Amino acid sequence: MKVGNFVYWRTCPGHLSAFQRNQIVEVRGDRARLRFFRDFIAIADLELTNPGEGEQIFCKRYGTPITNDWDDYDDW
Cα three-residue angle 33-11-5, rounded to 5 degrees: 40
pLDDT attached to residue 69: 63
> Cα separation of 58 and 5, whole Å?
14
What are the tens digits of pLDDT across the range 19-76?
999 999 999 999 999 999 999 999 999 999 988 888 888 888 988 888 876 544 444 3
Residue 58 identity (one-letter amino acid): F
Secondary element (H or E) of residue 55: helix 53-62
Q: What is the DSSP string of 16-71?
A: GGGGSEEEEEEEETTEEEETT-SSEEEGGGEEE-PPPHHHHHHHHHHTPPP---GG
